[in-house]
């Protein structure tokens, strides 16, 4: 897309713009140079989202974006349809109008092994009369399919697959996907209208984060990134769609026209497939290259073009072996006849094209039997049903119990005790029940009866209007008390090592520990009488408890287990206050001013600090010496002042979060990615692609963990 010269020119221009922001003379932007600023922003979107190799920091991008936004506000007549600011829609969408695809979206035929592929190749050779066919193989992305239409270089609409003939027009949401260009120079190929197919997906990292946020709200996580992508595309709030960080791969051109004649691809039409007077590619891989050259993320780096099926069989096997290393989920490969004229000749059945076939990887699914359901009471009183299943291996792990989330979920999946069930584990995600198999029922299956009373304290359960989860609202419920203590001592909260879940349960049962403050008044003499508690382990426990008193404030806040307050929100709160009791004076409105604190979160924090029992507990903790003040980020030594750091790979002497904390305490900053703004990349074991990228930027200092430790000690 951008050659070396253009890259250097745009990067230089960017630096100039950035210096303008710093010099605060942004008023120099005028109608004559605003398009140049836009080009810089487009270039950096491309570097980040298509090449996944950014040259500037997120912070710098945001600042440039603001600069453009302000300039366009000054004179709205300067706004163009494909300005980077135009991705942000009006906010809320009423509904998605139905739209017909220019060419129907078909399914693919499936294959599962080399024999299937050999068969398919034999048919292709027979039909074509060729002794050897050229194929292109590329990943089968596990996401939601979309189709995009560009008219005169401008993105006109993005449509879901729907029933294949018609789908929903979701253009405002598609514009949130930054790897989809708002305009592209199709005219340079003689094209004036084009329909492109692709797949929208959530990478593994963002998918895991998204599921985490669902579970924090007591909602069932999604079984796979496909469902997450499809669901995200249908949200009626474009801002929320933007927050999901969707990605798109474009892998097929289904229709195009040029000024002289209509050329339809893969649809039996009388017109010649390719007009010799235009520049359109004549192969599938050529089309993918064209898309890539125009700024789309097409699988050019992932694809392979091979003559004859054997090469394809080898390639797909090799790809399957490295499936887990990819940042996104794929469920197989798609093999396509590369020559578009031959595709046309092979044609299609009513269901699928004859020129393409999906090669499905081994499913990470397994069947098992649902043996029973246990109901667990969590820290917030939520009652979670957990299915006990006959132990089974899926995707390399043995599963014998699986959360089934809530009552609605059980109903929706029609689960009964004794059912044969299908379970799936995608990527690193926790296993899920895909479905039950009612056709295999014998009649002995039993309905799952949701309890009406807390399985632990026997209090009546309660389900708030509009929520999916039944709760025990007795805050003295033993289960909750124990879970709260377990959470308080846990690794991400107060991190009281050698305490742990098992000890909390044991001490609680023996009545040595009855609440959170009790951690700090444990009767050591009683512990000495217990089996397995020698002098050494008691000493270690005492040291860990003592050390936890001076943990940073955000750990204490997170440790309190306030509903909806995860680590990030805890950090935000700790930064906003000087003492924990400041929060008891915060109004809902004040809480809402804080970053990422919405109505639900604000309400929960507010209620927590209005509750007398909670305040009493905090006062006890304070008396016992637990630190309640925020450590203001006055740098401890400041010897890293202004320097930027990034970590890659596994550190051996400390956790990455600890290392990052040290950098920040010393006045340094952690960057989100490798760019010319980065001063130090600290490389641990099994470093990833960041290291490779950093090697290409001479100004970055690459440090080993030891070198890093020396640097901070200096």
Give whole-number Cα distances, 661 to 448, 636, 646, 669, in Å: 47, 11, 12, 10
395: DSSP letter: T
C-alpha–C-alpha distance, residues 191 and 213, integer Å = 43
Active site residues: 140
Between 178 and 336, name the residue whose CB sits nearer to ligand AMP. 336
Sequence-ordered list of residues with C-beta below 8 angstroms from that of 48, at least 6 positions apart, any chain: 54, 61, 178, 673
User: 356-360 and 365-377: which strand pairing?
Assistant: unpaired
User: Which of positions 190-219 make contact with ligand AMP (CB under 6 A)?
Assistant: 199
Q: Which of 133, 228, 477, 583 binds Zn ion (CB under 5 A)?
A: 477
* Binding track, positions 433-472, relative to Zn ion; x by CB under 5 A: ---------------------x-xx--------------x
Among Zn ion, ligand AMP, none, partner that 601 touches (CB below 5 to 8 angstroms by kind): none
- Please identify, among the stretches 134-142, 181-189, 412-420, 499-507, the one whose residues bind ligand AMP according to the rule CB under 6 A: 134-142
Token look-up 């304290």 returns 457
Among Zn ion, ligand AMP, none, partner that 199 touches (CB below 5 to 8 angstroms by kind): ligand AMP
- Please identify, among the stretches 137-145, 416-424, 506-514, 593-601, the one whose residues bind ligand AMP according to the rule CB under 6 A: 137-145
Neighbouring CB atoms inside 10 A of 594's CB total 17
Nearest-CA neighbor of 601 among 576, 571, 566? 566
Among Zn ion, ligand AMP, none, partner that 399 touches (CB below 5 to 8 angstroms by kind): none
Q: Which of 46, 251, 488, 606 binds ligand AMP (CB under 6 A)?
A: 251
User: Which of positions 285-344 make contact with ligand AMP (CB under 6 A)?
Assistant: 334
Q: How many residues in the shown chain lie near Zn ion by CB under 5 A? A: 6
Between 17 and 141, name the residue whose CB sits nearer to ligand AMP. 141
Sheet of 247-257: strand order equals 154-160, 144-151, 193-201, 247-257, 262-264
Among ligand AMP, Zn ion, none, partner that 141 touches (CB below 5 to 8 angstroms by kind): ligand AMP
- Please identify, among the stretches 135-143, 415-423, 523-531, 654-662, the one whose residues bind ligand AMP according to the rule CB under 6 A: 135-143
Burial of 271 (0-12, 13-18, 19+ CB in 10 A): exposed
Contact 430, 404 (CB under 8 A): no
Sequence-ordered list of residues with C-beta below 8 angstroms from that of 668, at least 6 positions apart, any chain: 640, 641, 642, 643, 644, 645
∠ Cα 434 440 444 (to 5°) = 110
Among Zn ion, ligand AMP, none, partner that 138 touches (CB below 5 to 8 angstroms by kind): ligand AMP
- Please identify, among the stretches 64-72, 133-141, 309-317, 463-471, the one whose residues bind ligand AMP according to the rule CB under 6 A: 133-141
Between 162 and 385, name the residue whose CB sits nearer to ligand AMP. 162
CA-based end-to-end distance of the chain: 45
Question: Least CB distance from residue 552 to Zn ion, whole Å?
Answer: 32
Q: Which of 107, 259, 310, 637 binds ligand AMP (CB under 6 A)?
A: 107
Among ligand AMP, Zn ion, none, partner that 456 touches (CB below 5 to 8 angstroms by kind): Zn ion
283: DSSP letter: B
User: Which of positions 252-271 make contact with ligand AMP (CB under 6 A)?
Assistant: 252
Contact 145, 193 (CB under 8 A): no
Q: Which residues bind ligand AMP (CB under 6 A)?
A: 107-108, 138, 140-141, 145, 199, 251-252, 334, 358
Q: Which residues bind Zn ion (CB under 5 A)?
A: 454, 456-457, 472, 474, 477
């Amino acid at each position: 897309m951008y050659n070396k010269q253009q890259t250097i020119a745009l990067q230089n221009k960017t630096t100039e713009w950035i210096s303008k922001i710093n010099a605060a003379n942004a008023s120099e932007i005028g109608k004559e140079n605003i398009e140049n600023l836009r080009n810089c922003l487009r270039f950096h979107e491309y570097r980040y989202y298509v090449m996944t190799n950014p040259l500037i920091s997120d912070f710098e991008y945001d600042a440039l974006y603001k600069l453009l936004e302000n300039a366009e506000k000054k004179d709205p007549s300067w706004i163009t349809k494909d300005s980077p600011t135009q991705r942000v829609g009006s906010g809320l969408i009423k509904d998605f109008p139905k739209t017909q695809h220019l060419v129907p979206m078909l399914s693919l035929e499936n294959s599962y092994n080399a024999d299937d592929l050999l068969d398919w190749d034999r048919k292709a050779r027979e039909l074509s009369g060729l002794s050897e066919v050229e194929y292109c193989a590329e990943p089968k992305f596990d996401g939601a399919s979309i189709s995009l239409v560009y008219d005169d270089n401008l993105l006109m609409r993005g449509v879901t697959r729907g029933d294949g003939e018609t789908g929903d027009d979701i253009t405002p949401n598609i514009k949130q996907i930054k790897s989809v260009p708002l305009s592209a120079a199709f005219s340079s190929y003689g094209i004036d209208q084009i329909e492109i197919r692709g797949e929208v997906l959530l990478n593994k990292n963002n998918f895991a984060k998204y599921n985490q946020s669902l579970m924090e709200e007591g909602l069932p996580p999604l079984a796979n990134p496909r469902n997450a992508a499809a669901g995200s595309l249908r949200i009626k709030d474009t801002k929320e769609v933007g927050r999901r960080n969707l990605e798109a791969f474009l892998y097929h051109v289904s229709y195009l026209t040029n000024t002289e004649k209509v050329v339809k691809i893969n649809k039996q039409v009388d017109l010649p497939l390719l007009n010799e007077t235009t520049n359109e590619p004549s192969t599938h891989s050529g089309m993918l290259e064209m898309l890539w050259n125009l700024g789309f993320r097409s699988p050019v780096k992932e694809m392979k073009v091979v003559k004859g099926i054997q090469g394809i069989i080898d390639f797909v096997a090799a790809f399957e072996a490295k499936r887990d290393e990819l940042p996104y989920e794929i469920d197989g490969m798609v093999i396509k006849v590369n020559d578009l004229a031959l595709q046309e000749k092979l044609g299609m059945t009513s269901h699928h094209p004859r020129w393409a076939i999906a090669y499905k990887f081994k499913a990470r699914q397994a069947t098992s039997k649902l043996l029973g359901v246990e109901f667990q009471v969590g820290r917030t009183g939520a009652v979670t049903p957990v299915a006990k299943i006959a132990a089974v291996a899926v995707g390399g792990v043995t599963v014998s119990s699986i959360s089934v989330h809530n009552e609605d979920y059980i109903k929706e999946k029609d689960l009964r005790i004794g059912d044969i069930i299908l379970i799936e584990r995608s990527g690193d995600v926790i296993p899920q029940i895909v479905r039950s198999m009612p056709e295999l029922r014998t009649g002995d299956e039993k309905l799952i009866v949701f309890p009406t009373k807390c399985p632990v304290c026997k209090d009546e359960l309660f389900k708030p209007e509009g929520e999916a989860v039944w709760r025990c609202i007795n805050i003295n419920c033993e289960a909750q008390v124990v879970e709260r203590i377990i959470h308080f001592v846990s690794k991400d909260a107060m991190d009281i090592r050698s305490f742990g879940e098992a000890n909390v349960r044991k001490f609680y049962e023996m009545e040595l520990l009855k609440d959170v403050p009790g951690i700090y008044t444990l009767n050591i003499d009683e512990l000495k009488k217990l089996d397995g508690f020698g002098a050494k382990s008691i000493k270690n426990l005492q040291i860990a408890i003592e050390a936890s008193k001076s943990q940073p404030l955000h750990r204490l806040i997170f440790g309190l287990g306030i509903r909806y307050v995860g680590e990030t929100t805890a950090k935000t709160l700790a930064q906003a206050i000087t003492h924990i009791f400041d929060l008891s004076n915060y109004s809902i409105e004040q809480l809402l001013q804080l970053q990422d604190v919405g109505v639900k979160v604000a309400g929960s924090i507010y209620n927590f600090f209005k509750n007398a029992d909670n305040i009493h507990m905090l006062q006890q903790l304070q008396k016992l010496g637990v630190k309640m003040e925020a450590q203001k980020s006055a740098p401890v030594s400041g010897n890293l002042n202004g320097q930027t750091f990034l970590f890659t790979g596994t550190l051996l002497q400390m956790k990455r979060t600890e290392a990052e904390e040290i950098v920040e305490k010393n006045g340094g900053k952690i960057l989100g990615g490798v760019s010319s703004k980065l001063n130090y990349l600290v490389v641990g074991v099994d470093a990833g692609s960041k290291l490779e990228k950093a090697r290409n930027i001479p100004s970055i200092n690459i440090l080993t963990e030891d070198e890093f430790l020396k640097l901070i000690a200096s």
